[in-house]
């Protein structure tokens, strides 16, 4: 259960999650302009639409994970998935130059080495999943029901929770996530993201 980050709703009111950094803190990896549009406009639109869609339905008092797990394909699933995805996404970053480990440590490091052989091999596979996903969607590092780490490609607003997995690290490959800063150079955007991952946040999401 992603209790540390999931927005819960008691009366069909979801809200924009608060950024744990200033909107310019991820520059030059992610510009303030991109944050203003991606977080301030795209995510806000998903939140607003989700609130409208759940009102008066069986999902009205469920949290995001429950909605994404159980909603049928369509607008409700898409918007709930994108609110969940983007909450995880924006909370996994730390400001450029901030203190903290530059690579995974502890149980996350051990799990990555077990699953992929090395951190560098994991980065290569995660980059391949991100650049190789056709169209819009997400590449996720996730933990399966056995506690093993896997990389999952999810088109559109998909999330590993639909498979019973725990999402740990997500790379957004919708063009609005990177087009202002990188134009169509998705691979360059993915390569730059490693500079701003907060590995403690990622580790804390593990079961």
pLDDT > 70 in the chain, percent: 94
Residue with tokens 């806000």: 44
Q: Residue 89: pLDDT band by 50, 70, 90 thresholds? A: very high
42 labelled as ligand-binding?
no
pLDDT at 46: 98
Q: Residue 4: pLDDT band by 50, 70, 90 thresholds? A: very low
CATH superfamily of 106-204: Iron/manganese superoxide dismutase, C-terminal domain (3.55.40.20)
Detail the DSSP E strand segments found in the chain: 137-143, 149-155, 166-172
172 labelled as ligand-binding?
yes
Instruction: Say how far apart CA 72 and CA 70 lie, in whole Å.
Output: 6
176 labelled as ligand-binding?
yes
pLDDT over 60 (residue 8): no
Q: Residue 12: pLDDT band by 50, 70, 90 thresholds? A: low
pLDDT tens-digit map of 28-72: 999 999 999 999 999 999 999 999 999 999 999 899 999 999 999
pLDDT over 50 (residue 90): yes
Are β-strands 137-143 and 149-155 bridged in parallel, bridged antiparallel, or unpaired? antiparallel
Q: Residue 2: pLDDT band by 50, 70, 90 thresholds? A: very low
CATH fold of 32-91 reads Helix Hairpins (1.10.287)
pLDDT tens-digit map of 156-197: 999 999 999 999 999 999 999 999 999 999 999 999 999 999
Average pLDDT, the chain: 94
Q: Within 10 A of 13 (CB to CB), how many other CB atoms are there?
A: 13
Residue 204, preceding peptide bond in cis (omega within 30° of 0):
no
pLDDT over 50 (residue 10): no
Q: What is the DSSP letter of 22?
A: -
Q: Taken in order 115, 120, 121, 123, is the CA torsion positive or negative?
A: positive
38 labelled as ligand-binding?
yes
Six-digit token string for 184:
């169509």
pLDDT tens-digit map of 121-159: 999 999 999 999 999 999 999 999 999 999 999 999 999
Domains of the chain by residue range: 32-91, 106-204
* Alpha carbon 116 to chain centroid, angstroms: 21
Q: Within 10 A of 134 (CB to CB), how many other CB atoms are there?
A: 8
For 105, residues 6+ apart whose C-beta sits below 8 A from its C-beta are 199, 203
């Amino acid at each position: 259960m992603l209790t540390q980050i999931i927005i819960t709703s008691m009366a069909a009111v979801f809200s924009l999650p608060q950024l744990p950094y200033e909107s310019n803190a991820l520059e030059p990896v992610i510009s303030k302009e991109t944050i203003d549009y991606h977080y301030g406009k795209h995510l806000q639109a998903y939140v607003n639409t989700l609130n409208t869609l759940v009102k008066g339905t069986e999902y009205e008092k469920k949290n995001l994970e429950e909605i994404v797990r159980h909603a049928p394909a369509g607008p409700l699933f898409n918007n709930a998935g994108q609110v969940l995805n983007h909450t995880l996404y924006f909370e996994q970053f730390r400001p450029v130059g901030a203190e903290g480990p530059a690579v995974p440590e502890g149980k996350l490091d051990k799990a990555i080495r077990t699953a992929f052989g090395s951190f560098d091999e994991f980065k290569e596979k995660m980059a391949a999943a991100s650049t190789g996903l056709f169209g819009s969607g997400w590449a996720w590092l996730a933990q399966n029901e056995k506690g093993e780490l896997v990389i999952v490609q999810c088109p559109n607003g998909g999330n590993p929770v639909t498979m019973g997995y725990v999402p740990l690290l997500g790379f957004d490959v919708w063009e609005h996530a990177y087009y202002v800063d990188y134009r169509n150079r998705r691979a360059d955007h993915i390569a730059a993201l490693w500079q701003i991952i907060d590995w403690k946040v990622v580790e804390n999401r593990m079961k």
